[in-house]
Every structure is written in C-alpha cells, then in structure tokens.
Structure 1
Amino acid sequence: MHIPSGFNIVTPYFFVRDAESFVRFLIQGLGGEETCRSMRPNGEIANAQVRLGTSTVMISEATPHYPAMAAAYYLYVEDADQAMQLALQHGATLEMAVEDMPYGDRQGGVRDAHGNIWWLSQRLVDEAYQP
C-alpha cells in the first residue's frame, strides 16, 4: 500500500460552509501549512490540503450532496497553553481550559467557528496511555 507523504492511514476530510475561512483558521489558529488547493468553477474550494504537524487534513466547501458536518479532533501540540491562546486569538471559543490530565497530557479544548472541537494536547510523559 502506498500512502502519499504527509498523509496517514486515516485522513480527516472536512466539509464546511465558508471553506476559505476554515483553511485560514487551520493555518493562523492552529499553525497549519496549506500544501495544495483546487477550485470549482464557481470559485469555491473543491479540495484544499493543510498539514498540521505530521498529518494532512483535507477541506472542501459543503454542498447539498456533502453537507457541512462538525466533529471532534485530538491535536498534539508542543505547548498546549500557547496553542490555546493562538486558537482563541483566531476565532475559536473556549470549551475547556488547559490543565494537566491524569493520563499524561496537558490539554484544553476549543470550538472553531465551524462547530468542530479541537482537543489541544501536549504530552507530558514519554510512555503509553495507562488505563
């Protein structure tokens, strides 16, 4: 099996209204980098790809056939407090303040303007999760 560089076995694909502003949030609010974009004849994003760390996500403008849908994502970051501030500065709203968790992560949560929840997590220990 061949998987393109920057992609993983599971790759999130976002269908959102106002895909342009969502791509902007991924870049400015979560520190992503746009790597690819194709447009529809009407000027809407058909497919954009944004790399977040070692993962790529795909984004498309919602359509009646593929309506907008929100979900929750767990995003590992270098510094959870800093990532939280950046996301909030770029339009996210607070879901949960950053704090140390019993499973070894420092974590907080935000909701973006498109309804997605992002759990911003900084791993504090170099070991597997313990039940």
Structure 2
Amino acid sequence: MTAEANPLVCYLCVDGADAAIDFYRRAFGAVEDQRWTGEDGRIGHAELTVEGAPVYLADEHPELGLRGPLAAGDTPVSLMLTVADADAVFEAALAAGATAESPVEDQPYGMRMGWLRDPFGHRWGIGSYVAEVSAEELRERVGDSYTIT
C-alpha cells in the first residue's frame, strides 16, 4: 500500500492487537498484509485490508499515550464499512464477538445498515446500498427532521 493510493487511513489502537486481527478477519474478511511485533510481544504496527480499504492497527502503548477505546472509556469516532450484504457481515461480526447497537434496517438515504461495537470498543456502521435516493426524495423521506442542502 502506498500513501498516494490511500491518502486517508484509519489507525486503530486496541488492547490485544493479535486478537483484534483475528476478529477483523472473521467478522469482516480482513486480510493481514504486514505485522511488526516488538520484543515485548506487542504489535507496534499491522496493516490489514478490509473490503479493499487499508486499516492500520496497533496494541496499546500507554507509555506513548496510545490507548484504545476501552481504556479511554469510549470513542468519539465511528467507522463505516460498506459491503455487498450488510445483513451477512453484521451477523458474521456478531458471531465473531461484536455487540449490536442497532439492527440492520433500511434507511431513508438508500442504505440498509446497522451499528455494532467490536470487542475492542470500536463502533462500526455496517451498510449496503439498496437504492439510489435523490436529494428531493431524501428531503421528502426525512421531512422536517433535517435540513438537507
């Protein structure tokens, strides 16, 4: 992977990177491309590919100020994974150890999606495009709930 091809990459910090890589493999079909393991056994850097997108990952390194969402108490960041079959991927993630936050349902903006937490505290939206929705149709669907420009 090169920076030119992927100018923005999410970099996840977790307590238990080896287990996280295994989870992402089982839940999302991740492919491990590279792993750097330190003398202390912690993973300092790993590169995965999920649905063609790069995802970087490392173990917590509190001595460097790097902590995952479980140690931090929560995360303000959500990851959105667009897949061909949201229901199947969502179920695979649950079977691999994720916790559902909201079920996979049809959304007014043309996606079928749901939200879950992985066992390491990261929040994932799993969605599939099921319909193309024009801006006008979206305005009608959401009514006064939002101003859509």
Shift of 1:43: 1.3
The TM-score, its normalising length taken from structure 1, stands at: 0.89
Q: Which residue of 2 aligns with 1:101?
A: 107
**Partner of residue 92, structure 1:** 98
Q: Which has the higher contact order (CA 8 A, sep 6+)?
A: 1
The change in CA–CA distance for 1:68 and 1:104 in structure 2 (over 3 A counts) is same
* 1:28 and 2:26 are equivalent in the alignment: yes
Runs of 4+ with deviation above 6 angstroms? none
- Structure 1 residue identity aligned to 2:59: E
Counterpart amino acid of residue 67 in structure 1: R
Gaps of 5+ in 2: 70-74, 139-147
Q: Residue 36 of structure 2 is aligned with which of 35, 38, 41? A: 38
2:15 maps to which residue? 17
How far the C-alpha of 1:90 sits from its partner, in A, is 0.1
CA distance in 1 between partners of 2:106 and 2:32 (Å)? 31
**Could you list the per-position Cα deviations for residues 64-116 of structure 1 after superposition, in whole angstroms to 9, with x for gaps in the alignment?**
12122343100001101101110000000111101100001000111111111
User: Which runs of no fewer than 5 residues in structure 1 stay unpaired?
Assistant: none
Letter in 2 for 1:119: G
Greater C-alpha radius of gyration: 2
**Percent of aligned pairs sharing the same letter:** 28
The 3 A distance-change label for structure 1 pair 103 and 127 is closer
Report the TM-score when normalising by structure 2. 0.79
The whole-number CA distance in structure 2 between the counterparts of 1:6 and 1:113 is 32
The answer to whether 1:79 aligns with 2:85 is yes
- Aligned CA RMSD, in angstroms, stands at 2.0
> 1:67 matched to which residue of 2?
67
**Aligned counterparts of 1:7 and 1:41: Cα–Cα separation in 2:** 31
